[in-house]
Structure 1
Amino acid sequence: MTETQDLPPRHTHLTFHGPLSEPRATGLVDRLALAKPSTVLDIGCGWGELMLRVLEAAPGATGRGIDLNGEDLARGRTNAAARGLADRVEFVEQSATDTALAPADLVLCLSASHALSGAEPPRLTTEALHALRRLVTPGGRVLFADGYWQRPPTQAELSAMWPDARADEYDDLAGLVDRAVEAGFRPAWIETANRDEWEAFESGYQSDKEVWLAAHPHHPLAEETRARLDGHRANWLRGYRDVLGIAYLTLVPVG
């Protein structure tokens, strides 16, 4: 294999595409399965690991994952087949906003508000929650993961985050829950990612490419890869670390 063909691997150290630990995932799946969903819809699913675990815990349920990343979807199909779930789940490469989606008993939207609305934040969160309210069946559940400020960011921290980061992009946790209530939900469970989950996610997100870059410092893609890795690490460590949080809200639609 030539150096040009030897490309960096992608997210092999991540089980979930977000700051989610095994214990928290187990608790989420157990609670969601108690509602006995027969249909599961995963918006912006990636490889759909949490959806697959719900299907394992809810015999007979069927699932559908929606995403635009074909590589992630292929990983999801492979994982589903290996766990005997291929006949109960489909992974579809499509937009969640351009296609009519059937309501489901359980709707997962894990840090994927952008898949449901093209609005600027924080209106993005509001529009995504209203879309989710339409996509869940009466008596069903929505698992909504989204960002919130753990504390107000300083201007220096905002400058170190993503381009044009603003203090009004996110609410605090109470404000995020208020938006869910205003969209027609009651919060059955509220929990937030801790620092260990964040550090495991951020390290796992970069690890494959960091190891690859150390072994291929003169690869044609090395300069671009190095810039992305260094930029993302700076965004995290100098910008949103201990400032941006992720909340996992288990929501019940109001009848």
Structure 2
Amino acid sequence: MDRQTISRLAHAHHPIAAPLSDEAVATLLERALGPEEEGRVLDLGCGQGGWLLRALAARPRRRAVGVDVDPGALTRARESAEAAGVQRRLGLHHLDAREFTDREPFGLVLSVGATHAFGGLLPTLAAARGHLAPGGRVLVGEGFWEREPSSAALGGLGAAREEYADLATTVDRVVAAGWTPVFGHVSSPAEWDDYEFSWTGSLAAWALDHPDHPDAADARAAADLHRAEWLHGYRGTLGFVTLVLRRD
């Protein structure tokens, strides 16, 4: 089973691919959208379109564009948009986010939990800047070290120590790159636990519900491995911060 399919199944009950509660998502999105009723929103790595669908519901005169490499996730986003009646205001592109171009700038650019597509936080912000209208905002979510990572944490994440910094250093780097945080949210332990149990539980449930599927054993193994890597590795070590940013 490929990673895109695993991720899509794992996020069946948590379409926002980050450790964020519904309340946190609503607050972050309200701050990021700002008071403007019109304008365009871009999500670089939109997955199943969770952020964009909420943005379109919150601002009935906004339009949105989503970019992702997973065709299955985009199909799900399209189906959800049709069910919500917002499909005419949503454009979806099956494309590497690094290759996306558009002639018009966007008032809000998002990349939450997808900075790996650009090679890290600062390259993601550099890419977002190229799409941003004057006075626009960026909503970005990134990991950071809550504490010094153990070898078990690094192994579970498949990460190197230098891949992340602590929270203060992470924010300092963003500011040094010319951005001003105007709001932020640090995911709580409860949000992390809810996200990880949802991720592993949704994937395991799919395997149990489809025992004769040729990928059932792979899905169950992926859920079991992920759960072990989280509980015995990076739980309490990897943090997640979501920032609303503006340019100086």
Alpha-carbon contact 1:32-1:54 (below 8 Å) kept? no
The higher radius of gyration belongs to: 1
Pairwise CA distance, 1:208: 2.6
The equivalent of 1:125 in structure 2 is 121
Pairwise CA distance, 1:216: 5.5
Pairwise CA distance, 1:218: 6.8
The equivalent of 2:154 in structure 1 is 158
Alpha-carbon contact 2:13-2:198 (below 8 Å) kept? yes
Superposition pairs of residues 90-101 of structure 1, within 5 angstroms: 90-101=91-102
Alpha-carbon contact 2:98-2:127 (below 8 Å) kept? no
Q: Secondary structure at the match of 2:245?
A: strand
Superposition pairs of residues 79-94 of structure 1, within 5 angstroms: 79-94=80-95
Alpha-carbon contact 1:13-1:207 (below 8 Å) kept? no
Alpha-carbon contact 1:151-1:172 (below 8 Å) kept? yes
Match for 2:110 among 96, 108, 126?
A: 108
Superposition pairs of residues 52-67 of structure 1, within 5 angstroms: 52-67=53-68
Q: For residues 167-221 of structure 1, give each alpha carbon's deviation from its aligned partner in whole angstroms, at most 9, with x where no partner exists.
A: 1110111111122212221000121111111111111112233124345567543
Q: Secondary structure at the match of 1:87?
A: helix
Alpha-carbon contact 1:41-1:64 (below 8 Å) kept? yes
Q: Secondary structure at the match of 1:97?
A: helix
Q: Secondary structure at the match of 1:146?
A: strand
The equivalent of 1:45 in structure 2 is 46
How many pairs align? 240
Q: Tell me, which stretches of 5 or more residues in structure 2 are unaligned?
A: none
Alpha-carbon spacing, 1:208–1:191, altered in 2? closer, same or farther (3 Å): closer
Aligned equivalents of 1:48, 1:219: Cα separation in 2: 27
Higher helix share: 2
1:183 maps to 2:192: no
CA-based RMSD = 2.1
Q: Tell me, which stretches of 5 or more residues in structure 1 are unaligned?
A: 1-6
Alpha-carbon spacing, 1:136–1:231, altered in 2? closer, same or farther (3 Å): same
| TM-score, with length taken from structure 1 | 0.86
Alpha-carbon spacing, 1:136–1:215, altered in 2? closer, same or farther (3 Å): closer
The equivalent of 1:226 in structure 2 is 220
The equivalent of 1:30 in structure 2 is 30
Q: Which amino acid is the alignment partner of residue 134 of structure 2?
A: P
Aligned equivalents of 1:50, 1:212: Cα separation in 2: 24
The equivalent of 1:4 in structure 2 is none
The equivalent of 1:3 in structure 2 is none
